[in-house]
């Protein structure tokens, strides 16, 4: 007898690892079964503290995440880890698999680790990662660590989904990197200078301090700078304390609620955008699209006029019927 949606949901709520894995896969693939499941789980799950961790390649994010997860585990909390891997947009495969990651945690039943591939399509991560957090919340995770590799758009996505965003910096990067960091500086609630046993750690700290003094945050939070050596575990306890302080600050100043409100608003609009497009595509005859592509390719028609026509077609208006 096949398992019902309700049974599947119940197994996830009980923390069954195979049921969780299947749910995440369903959500990643955009299956309707996954969406039905999310509807069932949503009202019954408790909120986790979602910690986004980001920084340049080579900053030591994975090691830090592993140690931080251990720190929360030592306090008896269930921890979920979502590692967003860079993928080839063509092969679709993740470079680092779950299995070779974080081996120290791999036998701990209180930790759930999942790698997600960005898949190279716009908003793909944003759409699925939020739902994966929901599943881990339903499965009883009290802390969810979301690690993103890469710089740029990914950071913004982390900030959009997390309750707190941690930016990892390392000593010894070039000037261009410093320039770049200014662009993502504002999204961090907390700065970590990792590999702090290397020369130049103090200078990085001073630079961050200087930048923060130029542009103080409107919400009154002063982002702390924590020095760590993730490989040895040094500073990880301080990082956890700083994370808890931010959480307490957020509760006190209604900051967390306001951020969640913005996140859900953005999330609903994102899902709406995705849903409208999916429905439109299902109504669009492939032959019509192919013909229009050829016309644009030959410069017989311009893309904007073509899209106006396509919108008419998918919306069922008579102007699109010709």
Q: Which 90-129 positions form the footprint of a copy of itself (CB under 8 A)? A: 90-91, 95-96, 118, 120, 122-123, 126
Instruction: Out of 54, 87, 142, 194, point to the residue binding a copy of itself (CB under 8 A).
Output: 87
Please, which residues bridge with residue 225 across strands? 191
Other CB atoms within 10 Å distance of the CB of residue 161: 23
| Sign, CA torsion 231/237/241/244 | positive
d(CA 162, CA 144): 9
Q: Which residues between 31 and 60 bind a copy of itself (CB under 8 A)?
A: 35, 38-39, 42-43, 56-58
55 φ, ψ (degrees, to nearest 5)? 160, 175
H or E element that contains 49: strand 49-55
317 binds a copy of itself (CB under 8 A): no
The answer to whether the CB of 236 falls within 8 A of the CB of 71 is yes
Helix, strand, or coil (residue 26): helix
292 binds a copy of itself (CB under 8 A): yes
State the DSSP string of 85-103: E-B-TTT--BSS-TTTS-G
231 binds a copy of itself (CB under 8 A): no
d(CA 46, CA 260): 14
153 binds a copy of itself (CB under 8 A): yes
Residue 152 or 216: which CB sits closer to a copy of itself? 152
Residue 87 or 142: which CB sits closer to a copy of itself? 87
Instruction: Out of 4, 103, 109, 175, point to the residue binding a copy of itself (CB under 8 A).
Output: 175
21 binds a copy of itself (CB under 8 A): no
Residue 72 or 250: which CB sits closer to a copy of itself? 250
CB of 75 to a copy of itself, least distance (A): 25
Instruction: Out of 14, 74, 104, 311, point to the residue binding a copy of itself (CB under 8 A).
Output: 311
Q: Which stretch binds a copy of itself (CB under 8 A): 3-11, 68-76, 148-156, 196-204?
A: 148-156
- If you compute the radius of gyration of the chain from its CA atoms, what whole number of angstroms results? 22
43 φ, ψ (degrees, to nearest 5)? -75, -20
Instruction: Out of 198, 257, 291, 319, point to the residue binding a copy of itself (CB under 8 A).
Output: 257
Instruction: Out of 154, 163, 189, 205, point to the residue binding a copy of itself (CB under 8 A).
Output: 154
d(CA 113, CA 175): 35
Q: Which stretch binds a copy of itself (CB under 8 A): 67-75, 102-110, 170-178, 239-247?
A: 170-178
């Amino acid at each position: 007898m096949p398992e019902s949606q309700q049974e599947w949901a119940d197994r996830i709520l009980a923390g069954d690892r195979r049921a969780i894995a299947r749910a995440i896969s369903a959500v990643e693939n955009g299956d309707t079964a996954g969406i039905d499941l999310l509807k069932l789980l949503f009202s019954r799950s408790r909120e986790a503290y979602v910690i986004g961790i980001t920084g340049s390649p080579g900053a030591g994010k994975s090691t830090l995440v592993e140690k931080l997860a251990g720190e929360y585990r030592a306090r008896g909390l269930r921890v979920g880890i979502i590692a967003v891997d860079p993928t080839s947009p063509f092969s679709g495969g993740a470079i680092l698999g779950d299995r070779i990651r974080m081996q120290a945690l791999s036998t701990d039943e209180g930790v759930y680790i999942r790698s997600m591939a960005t898949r190279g399509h716009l908003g793909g991560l944003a759409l699925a990662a939020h739902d994966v957090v929901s599943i881990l919340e339903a499965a009883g995770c009290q802390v969810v660590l979301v690690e993103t590799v890469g710089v740029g758009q990914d950071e913004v996505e982390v900030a959009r989904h997390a309750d707190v965003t941690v930016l990892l910096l390392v000593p010894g990067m070039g000037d261009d990197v410093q320039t770049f960091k200014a662009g993502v500086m504002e999204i961090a609630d907390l700065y970590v200078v990792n590999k702090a046993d290397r020369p130049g750690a103090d200078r990085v700290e001073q630079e961050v301090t200087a930048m923060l003094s130029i542009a103080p945050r409107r919400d009154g939070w002063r982002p702390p700078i924590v020095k760590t050596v993730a490989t040895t575990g040094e500073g990880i306890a301080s990082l956890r304390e700083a994370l808890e302080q931010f959480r307490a600050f957020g509760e006190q100043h209604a900051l967390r609620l306001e951020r969640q409100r913005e996140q859900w608003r953005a999330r609903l609009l994102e899902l709406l955008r995705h849903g409208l497009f999916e429905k439109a595509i299902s109504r669009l005859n492939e032959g019509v699209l192919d013909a229009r592509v050829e016309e644009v390719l030959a410069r017989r028609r311009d893309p904007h006029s073509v899209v106006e026509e396509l919108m008419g077609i998918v919306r069922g208006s008579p102007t699109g019927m010709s």
